[in-house]
Chains A and B, each alone.
Chain A
Amino acid sequence: AQKVTQAQTEISVVEKEDVTLDCVYETRDTTYYLFWYKQPPSGELVFLIRRNSFDEQNEISGRYSWNFQKSTSSFNFTITASQVVDSAVYFCALSGVGSSNTGKLIFGQGTTLQVKP
């Protein structure tokens, strides 16, 4: 069975602090995709990143960076120099690959990030 765990329910930081959101996943698939989505207070789901399971290279996009470690089944997300606009719920998600998969996403519980000025 596939499962995504985001153990941090809520995180509160002060603006300009760095913050890391943890994500641990379980899957029997040998190939899979991992995602991060942001859900701001307005409610929509905003795509941030997709990572393929056979690409363990870490990725940086501006203030965002992702650390994928297959050995520990983790796909953590770091925001550097956080800003108030980063306040949102962040979801990690997992998707299978291959002919037997429909491409559905399995979401974690989400981490609510509050960035205070």
Chain B
Amino acid sequence: EPEVTQTPSHQVTQMGQEVILRCVPISNHLYFYWYRQILGQKVEFLVSFYNNEISEKSEIFDDQFSVERPDGSNFTLKIRSTKLEDSAMYFCASRRDRGQEKLFFGSGTQLSVL
């Protein structure tokens, strides 16, 4: 089965540093998403991306966050100045179209902000 690939699996950064989380969605997919899961809590929607623009974002996704699809295969999440509370597992996901059966999730990047 095709997979969504996320790198790195674990990232450690200092508070205030910029971090970029990388994802390679499934190749024929058109809708891309980032979700976040703080340890022990539920999975929360951050942002959806379609046709090279953000289609929806949550309140969590403030000016410190940005997403980009720079080259037609990668989908990145940038956090400009990380805070301690950004520590979480970040999941990338994709689907072929809005009506497709399921959202394919990557295995996640565990971000630790020290």
A interface residues with partner B (beta carbon < 8 Å): 35, 37, 42-45, 47, 50, 91, 93, 95, 97, 101-110
Interface of B is mostly: strand
Cβ–Cβ contact A103 & B41, under 8 A: no
**Would B45 and A105 count as touching, CB distance under 8 A?**
yes
B108 contacts which chain A residues (CB < 8 A)? 43-45
Contact B42 A101 (CB under 8 A): no
Across the interface, do A104 and B91 meet the contact criterion of CB distance under 8 Å?
Answer: no
Residues from chain B with Cβ under 8 Å of A43 in the complex: 89, 107-108, 110
Q: Beyond A44-B108, A45-B91, is A105–B31 a contact (Cβ under 8 Å)?
A: no
Q: Per a CB cutoff under 8 Å, which of B31, B45, B89, B102 touches A50? A: B102
- Does B75 reach chain A (CB closer than 8 Å)? no
A-chain residues with CB within 8 Å of residue B91 when the two chains form the complex: 45
Q: Complex Cα distance A63/B104, Å?
A: 23
Residues of chain B contacted by A47 (CB below 8 angstroms): 102-105
- Pick from A42, A47, A97 the residue with the most CB of B within 10 Å: A47
Q: What CA separation (Å) do A20 and B48 show in the bound complex?
A: 32
Distance A45 CA – B43 CA, assembled complex (angstroms): 10
In the complex, which residues of chain A have a beta carbon less than 8 angstroms from the beta carbon of B98? 97, 101-103
Nearest CB of chain B from residue A45's CB, rounded to whole Å: 4
Asked if A106 contacts B45 (CB within 8 A), the reply is yes
Q: B99: which of A37, A45, A97, A107 is its contact (CB, 8 Å)? A: A97
Interface size class of B (residues with CB under 8 A): 20 to 34
Chain B residues contacting A42 (CB-CB under 8 Å) are 107
Q: B48 contacts A102, CB within 8 Å?
A: yes
* A102 close to B102 (CB less than 8 A): no
| In contact, B50 and A107 (Cβ under 8 angstroms) | no
Docked CA distance A107–B58 (Å): 13
Q: Which of B42, B48, B102, B106 contacts A91 (CB 8 A)?
A: B42
Tell me if A107 and B42 are in contact (CB < 8 A): yes
Whether the Cβ atoms of A102 and B31 lie closer than 8 Å is: yes
| B71 within 8 Å of A (CB atoms) | no
Does B27 lie at the interface of the complex (its beta carbon under 8 Å from any beta carbon of A)? no
Q: Which residues of B contact A107 (CB under 8 A)?
A: 42-45
B62 at the interface (CB under 8 A from A): no
